[in-house]
């Protein structure tokens, strides 16, 4: 399971030109589910993201987690994170989980994050989405479990 996370001032998902979900200060999570991923991977990744200290304290050091600042989280499924660009010029998606499996693990991941008590919003699985964000920093991390 792979996640590209970005610290944001705000972020939103629009579908067919209409806002589907939005957050203020927090984290935008792009989540990719691979064939070998399990609920254990989802649990570990969610725990890591919730505890990752990527927000500045009063001394401007990254010492605070999303939970510490009571920020918001937007989780967007993105199977292209599972693309392999090593050979040729067309990405291979052989490692991406089948949609029905990926959806279950995506929803499981969302449920774990929701248990944090933070405001959690999502995109729509398998929808064509327009994602807008203002990256804070910019701060962007690649996390895998």
Q: Which residues pair with 139 in a beta bridge?
A: 7
Domains of the chain in sequence order: 2-144 (3.50.80.10)
Active-site residue flag, 55: no
pTM of the entire predicted model: 0.96
Is-contact 32 78, C-beta < 8 A?
A: yes
Q: What is the pLDDT along the chain (145 residues), one digit of tens a residue?
A: 999 999 999 999 999 999 999 999 999 999 999 999 999 999 999 999 999 999 999 999 999 999 999 999 999 999 999 999 999 999 999 999 999 999 999 999 999 999 999 999 999 999 999 999 999 999 999 999 8
Which residue of the set 6, 78, 121, 122 is catalytic? 78
Q: Distance from CA of residue 38 to its chain's centroid?
A: 17
Active-site residue flag, 80: yes
Active-site residue flag, 79: yes
DSSP string, 81-116: GG-B-SSSSS-B-TTBPPHHHHHHHHHHHHHHHHTT
Q: Strands 26-32, 72-77: parallel, antiparallel or unpaired by DSSP?
A: parallel
Which residue of the set 80, 115, 126, 140 is catalytic? 80
């Amino acid at each position: 399971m792979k996640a590209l996370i970005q610290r944001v001032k705000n972020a939103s998902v629009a579908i067919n030109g209409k806002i589907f979900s939005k957050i203020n200060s927090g984290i935008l999570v792009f989540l990719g589910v691979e064939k070998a991923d399990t609920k254990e991977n989802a649990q570990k990744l969610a725990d890591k993201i919730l505890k990752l200290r990527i927000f500045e304290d009063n001394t401007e050091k990254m010492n605070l987690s999303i939970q510490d600042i009571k920020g918001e989280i937007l989780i967007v499924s993105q199977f292209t994170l599972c693309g392999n660009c090593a050979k040729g010029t067309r990405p291979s998606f052989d490692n991406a989980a089948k949609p029905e499996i990926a959806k279950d693990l995506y929803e499981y991941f969302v449920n774990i994050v929701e248990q944090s008590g933070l405001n959690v919003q999502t995109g729509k699985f398998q929808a064509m989405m327009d994602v807008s964000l203002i990256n804070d920093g910019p701060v962007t991390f690649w996390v895998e479990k």
